Each structure stands twice: as C-alpha cells, then as structure tokens.
Amino acid sequence: MAENLRERLASWLAGAGFIVAPGDEGLPSNADWGLMVATPPPIQVKLRLIGLKNGLVIAGIGVNFSDLHRRELQKLSTAERSGFVASLASKIIAMCPMCRIALHGGVVNPEAIIAEIVYASDELTRQRLLDDIARLVNVFMLINMELWSRFPEAHIDAAKEEGGTTFL
C-alpha cells in the first residue's frame, strides 16, 4: 500500500511538471519512504515528501539562511534579530496556517526554517497536494524576500562581486 501511495504521489507531481526522484536516504526511523521534489529551473526549489509507517504523509521544505544572511543578522542587536525572526514566523504562519514551523538555530542565531504540512494518506487529493506544494514554494520565496528586503545592500554588493542574476 505504501508503495502504491508513493507511486501515485510521484505521478501526480511529475504530471504537474515537478522533478521527482526517490528520497529514501536520511529518513526518520518511523518512515516507509521518501520523495525528493523540485520545481523546474531556473530557481529549482527543493521539497521532500515522507510517508510514515502510521499512514501519514509529510510535505516539507527547509530554507537555510545563507552565510551572508547569518553574518548580516549577527550585526543586529539581539532584540532586532528576535524581532525579525518573530515577524518572519508570523508571516509564514499567515501564509500557511496549516504548516508546522520549526526554527533551527534559535531565535537569536537562526540558521534555517522548516515548514511542513501533514496529511492523512487516505484523505490526500491531487489538487490539495499541488496547492500545498505551491504554498510551500511560496514560503521559500517569502523567507528570501524578507531577507532581501531587510538586507538589500548585501545582495547588491554580492551581485556586483559575482555578476549574479536575480529572477525577481
């Protein structure tokens, strides 16, 4: 049954234009299977689906703060950092109220934000999965836009040094 669910979800996602690959490495002990999912280029946002042994499915995304952003955050006072993180978490929850949100590194030294949506596998529909994957991609974009907005000079300087491209 778990294999049928995995194949069905992979088919739905591939049919919608996502890049789908097996993702069984590094799974938690209570998981049966995993899928790595990515949006098509140029940005290629990466997500993961995990099928748990109890019949639940988790769609999740982890957004790491770049070294550049962590350095810029460290320049802020503790109160400014915690305020930024609190504001960002509030915006993520407003965008995705069904998401479970986790902050890696803590409020004062944030390193990454993880957002997950949990489903009962027997209630998961194609449209709900596609809508929620889009919502998780938007969480990725929101986090990056907030960092770009808070530290615009860092991106301008980095783009000059690297000759980088911005897609927004």
Ordered by where they begin, the domains of the chain are 2-162 (3.30.1460.10)
Q: Tell me the one-letter amino acid at 43.
A: I
pTM: 0.88
| pLDDT (average), residues 151-164 | 66
Residue 103 and residue 62 in contact, taking contact as beta carbons nearer than 8 Å: no
CA distances for 87 relative to 1, 5, 69, 103, 119, angstroms = 42, 37, 16, 13, 27
DSSP state, residue 23: -
Q: Encoding tokens for residue 95?
A: 């965008």
Reported as a single tens digit per residue, the pLDDT across 67-94 is: 999 999 999 999 999 999 999 999 999 9
148's enclosing H/E stretch is helix 126-150
pLDDT at 15: 97
DSSP state, residue 65: P
| pLDDT (average), residues 143-147 | 94
Q: Encoding tokens for residue 104?
A: 């890696």
